[in-house]
A and B are shown apart, each in its own frame.
Chain A
Amino acid sequence: MSENRPLALVTGSSRGIGKFICEKLIVDGYDVIGCSRNPSELVNAHYQHIAADVSDQSSVLNLFKQIRKEHGSLSVIINNAGIASMNHCLLTTVEAFDRVLNVNLKGTFLVSREGAKLMRRHNFGRIVNLSTVAVPMSLEGESAYVASKSGVEALTKVLARELAEYGITVNALGPSPIETDLIKGVGADKIAKIVNRLALKRLGRVEDVYNVIEFFIRPASDYITGQVIYLGGI
């Protein structure tokens, strides 16, 4: 970690998209703090892993206490931590519904709220939230997941307005299906069906995700806030 590099926080960093985002941010000159409930395999001089559960307020407060104490500032947050629950609404348990809402929506809220408190100290910040193309598609079989991500999009737009005066932008991106652990449990025919509804008929790549993130977090993107960009042409 170096004092000269801006600091980025990536939630859900232990694997998949989150891990890739961390690696790319480091290459692009950031010091990165990753957090997840599980340990990370990423070992790099510019990476620090902090175990945290984003759905638990005391865990998030502890995470930011550590960031505040050790670093004092924060430039970028990527709210990537997320879980899915694929099931017909008639078969979705309230426990599964709570779990998905807690991690995806409450987690994004808590991390954004505490992060913005740090960012406002320097009147600069970039928050990027992860949504999904399943929201505009109103994808059946994913009621809890789509409801949580719809909430994330609404939160993105309200936070964008509330945090604008502190120089903080808040945007979201909605990936199409990406080859990660999250879609391993989804049938190939269902994935093919989703991809066929996109203008660009292929699975998304983690590079496509980072491309939009990189655009949102650029200092020059200070006039772009409250926006949701979907991958694949929805």
Chain B
Amino acid sequence: MERSQLLTLVLEQIEEHLQQTQIGNDASQPLPKISEDTPLYGKDGLVDSLGLVSIVLSVEQAINDELDSEIVIADDRAMSQKSSPFGTPGRLVDYTMLLINERK
């Protein structure tokens, strides 16, 4: 899987999550424009901890369905990174790419 494909997948999962929550359902509040540098979780992040859990699990499932793999994104290494892999969509993509490449 290429990085660009994975980024598209991650952004889709984030948008789907936002659509299912209040942010997306309020017509007066359009869906925020999300790029790979948009703060996802933490200071000024788009989602709270439960939202992050949903997104990470959805990404994990989509990848495992696609690649017929059993990747676990929220592993010990992810939790102990100096720079959280969940800070932005881009960082989530980079960390997930690492896991995908390691299984090859």
Asked if A pairs with B, the answer is: yes
A65 pairs with B68, CB closer than 8 A: yes
B22: Cβ under 8 A from any A Cβ = no
| Least Cβ–Cβ distance between B100 and chain A, in angstroms | 15
A121 pairs with B61, CB closer than 8 A: yes
A65 pairs with B64, CB closer than 8 A: yes
A117 pairs with B70, CB closer than 8 A: no
A184: Cβ under 8 A from any B Cβ = no
0 or 1 for each of A183-207: is its CB under 8 Å from B? (1 = yes): 0000000000000000000000000
A65 pairs with B70, CB closer than 8 A: yes
Which residues of A35-89 are within 8 A (CB) of B?
58, 61-62, 64-65, 68-69
Q: B68 is contacted by which of A61, A64, A69, A120 (Cβ under 8 Å)?
A: A69
B72 pairs with A61, CB closer than 8 A: yes
Which residues of A107-133 are within 8 A (CB) of B?
117, 120-121
A165 and B70 in contact, given A68-B65, A121-B61 (Cβ under 8 angstroms): no
A117 pairs with B50, CB closer than 8 A: no
Which residues of B23-82 are within 8 A (CB) of A?
50, 57, 60-61, 64-65, 68-70, 72
Closest to A63 in B: B70
CA distance A218 to B61 in the complex (A): 27
CA distance A58 to B50 in the complex (A): 26
| Least Cβ–Cβ distance between A53 and chain B, in angstroms | 15
B70 pairs with A62, CB closer than 8 A: yes
CA distance A121 to B69 in the complex (A): 18
Which residues of B have CB within 8 Å of A117? 57, 60-61
CA distance A68 to B60 in the complex (A): 13
| Least Cβ–Cβ distance between A158 and chain B, in angstroms | 14
Number of interface residues of A (CB under 8 A): 11
CA distance A121 to B16 in the complex (A): 13
| Least Cβ–Cβ distance between B65 and chain A, in angstroms | 7
CA distance A65 to B60 in the complex (A): 12
Which residues of A have CB within 8 Å of B68? 65, 69
| Least Cβ–Cβ distance between B98 and chain A, in angstroms | 18
CA distance A121 to B70 in the complex (A): 17
Which residues of A have CB within 8 Å of B64? 65, 68
Which residues of B have CB within 8 Å of A65? 64, 68-70
CA distance A62 to B72 in the complex (A): 12
Which residues of A have CB within 8 Å of B72? 61
Closest to A116 in B: B57
Closest to B57 in A: A117
B57 pairs with A120, CB closer than 8 A: yes
CA distance A165 to B48 in the complex (A): 14
A61 and B50 in contact, given A68-B64, A117-B60 (Cβ under 8 angstroms): no
Question: What is B's interface to A at a CB cutoff of 8 Å?
Answer: 50, 57, 60-61, 64-65, 68-70, 72
8 residue pairs of the A-B complex, CB under 8 angstroms, read A61-B70, A65-B70, A68-B61, A68-B64, A68-B65, A117-B60, A120-B57, A121-B61
> What 6 pairs between A and B have smallest CB-CB spacing?
A61-B70, A65-B70, A117-B57, A117-B61, A62-B70, A120-B57
Known: A62-B70, A69-B68. 13 other contacts (CB 8 A): A58-B70, A61-B70, A61-B72, A64-B70, A65-B64, A65-B68, A68-B61, A68-B64, A68-B65, A117-B60, A120-B57, A121-B61, A165-B50
